[in-house]
Amino acid sequence: MILVFAEVIENEVQDITYELVALAKQLGDYKVVVVGADPKDIDGDVIQIDGILHPYHYKVAEKLFEEYNPDAMLFANAPFGMDLAPQLAGKLNLPLITNVVRLENGERFKATSLTYGGRVLVDLEVDKPAIFVVNRGCYEPVRGTPNVEKLSLAVEDGTELLRVIKPEEAGVDISKADVVVSVGRGAVDSLELAEELAELLNGVIAGSRPVIDQGLLPKTRQVGRSGKTVTGKLYLALGISGATEHVEGVKAKNVIAVNVDKEAPIFRVANVGVVADVNELLPVLIDKIKEAKGKR
Ligand code: FAD
C-alpha cells in the first residue's frame, strides 16, 4: 500500500497533490492523507484528519505509518513535503529519496532522481518501505471523487504553530500560468517590452534570479530552484543563459529561447531556439503579433 501525503498549505490542497495521486495509481493500492483541508477532487481513498499538520508534526505521520504499514510514503517536493519527509525518514530510520522524477514498483522500488543541482539523473533501487519526495511536473495530474474516512489523531509534540508568514503576493501565480514570458539578465533593458509581449500573449511576466535580486520583479515571479516551477504550455526565455538552477524550474510543454550566444545552455532545453538580440527582436515580434491580431 502507498500512503500519499497531500501538500496542504493554509487549509488548501495544493495542485501538486493530484500529480502524486497519478503516480500512486501507477504504483498500486493507495490512500491519500489530507490534514486540515477539504479533500476536493482527490481520486480514491482519503484519510481526512482535522487540524494542522505543520512541518514539526512528524508524529502524525509516524502514527499513520504504524497504523497502515505502507510500502511507500509519497510527499511533494514543495514546502510542506520537503520539511516533513526528511524528519520522518530520520525518526523511522527509513530510506529517503528526494527529487524523484520517476518511480516504479516491483520487488524493490526503482526511482530516478535528479541530483547535482539537476545536472545528473541517477537510477536507484531501494528496499521497502521507503519515503519519496516527488518533483512537480513529472506526472499528469489526476482528479476524481474522494472516498473519505475521517480520523482523529491526538498528537502532542510540544510544538505549536503560531503564525504563517506569507511571501508578498503579487496576485499572480506563475506556476499556474499557461504562458510565461521570462526575462533574464540579458533582457533587463527590454523589461517593458517583455511585459507588453506577455500581455499580448495573455501570459504573465517572470524572471531569472538576477532580475529578481535587482528588484526589477517581485520574488513571486522567480523561476527556478529557489523560485517557482512553471508547468504551462509555453515558456519564453529572453536573455536567460539556462543555468541548472534556473532550468530546474522550467517544466512547460514548449520552451522558446532567445539568446545572442548560440552556445547558451538554455538551447539544450528549448524546443525552438532563436539566436538574436532581444532588444532588436522584441519590437519586431510585438509589431507582428499586433498585426496578426489586427491591433495595428
Ligand atoms: P546570465 O547567466 O548572466 O545570462 C544572461 C544571458 O543573456 C546570457 O546567456 C547572454 O548570452 C544573454 N544575453 C545578453 N545580452 C543579450 C541580448 N541583448 N539578447 C539576447 N540575449 C542576451 N537562478 C534562477 O534563475 N532561478 C533560481 O531559482 C536560482 N536559484 C539558485 C539557487 C542557488 C543555490 C544558486 C547557487 C543559484 C541559483 N540561481 C538561480 C542562479 C543561477 O545559477 C544563475 O546565476 C542565473 O539563473 C543566471 O541568470 P540569467 O540567465 O538571467 O543571467
Spell out the residues 6+ positions from residue 128 whose beta carbon is closer than 8 angstroms to its own: 71, 72, 108, 109
Helix (H) / strand (E) element for 88: namely helix 79-92
Cα of 201 from ligand 1 centre, angstroms: 23
Q: Give me the amino acid identity at 111.
A: A
Q: What is the pLDDT of residue 76?
A: 95
Q: What is the pLDDT of residue 167?
A: 63
Asked whether 174 lines ligand 1 (CB < 6 A), one says no
Residue recorded with cell 517590452: 193
- With H, G, I as helix, E, B as strand and everything else as coil, classify residue 223: strand
β-pair type (109-115, 120-126): antiparallel
- Per CATH, 2-152 and 174-293 having the same topology is answered yes
Asked whether 260 lines ligand 1 (CB < 6 A), one says yes
Nearest residue CA, atom 35 of ligand 1? 245
Cα of 242 from ligand 1 centre, angstroms: 6
Q: Can you read off the three cell numbers belonging to residue 90?
A: 530520520
Asked whether 208 lines ligand 1 (CB < 6 A), one says yes
Spell out the residues 6+ positions from residue 127 whose beta carbon is closer than 8 angstroms to its own: 95, 108, 109
Cα of 165 from ligand 1 centre, angstroms: 28
Residues 251, 159: Cα–Cα separation, whole Å: 36
Q: What is the pLDDT of residue 211?
A: 94
Cα of 105 from ligand 1 centre, angstroms: 38
Residues 69, 249: Cα–Cα separation, whole Å: 34
> Does the domain formed by 2-152 have CATH 3.20.20.30?
no
Residue recorded with cell 503564525: 163
Angle, CA 178 vertex, CA 43 and CA 116 arms, to 5°: 80
Test site for ligand 1: of 230, 246, 284, most ligand atoms within 8 A of the Cβ = 246
Average pLDDT by stretches of 10, the chain with 296 residues:
93 94 97 93 94 74 93 93 92 96 97 82 96 92 96 74 68 91 96 96 96 90 93 97 94 97 96 97 96 79
Nearest residue CA, atom 39 of ligand 1? 245
CATH topology of domain 174-293: Rossmann fold (3.40.50)
Q: What is the pLDDT of residue 278?
A: 97
Nearest residue CA, atom 36 of ligand 1? 245
Asked whether 219 lines ligand 1 (CB < 6 A), one says no
Asked whether 240 lines ligand 1 (CB < 6 A), one says yes
Ligand 1 atom closest to residue 278's alpha carbon, by position in its atom list: 19
Max Cα–Cα distance, the chain, nearest Å: 66
Residues 230, 222: Cα–Cα separation, whole Å: 10
Nearest residue CA, atom 9 of ligand 1? 241
Cα of 202 from ligand 1 centre, angstroms: 25
Asked whether 210 lines ligand 1 (CB < 6 A), one says yes
CA-based end-to-end distance of the chain: 60
Q: What is the pTM of this model?
A: 0.63
Nearest residue CA, atom 4 of ligand 1? 241
Side by side, the strands of the sheet bearing 146-151 are 120-126, 109-115, 96-104, 130-134, 72-76, 2-5, 30-35, 44-49, 146-151
Q: Provide the CB-side half-sphere exposure for 141 (13 A, CA).
A: 16
Helix (H) / strand (E) element for 65: namely helix 58-68
Test site for ligand 1: of 188, 241, 274, 280, most ligand atoms within 8 A of the Cβ = 241
Helix (H) / strand (E) element for 19: namely helix 16-27
For the chain, the domains span 2-152, 174-293
Q: What is the pLDDT of residue 78?
A: 87
Q: Can you read off the three cell numbers belonging to residue 274?
A: 532563436
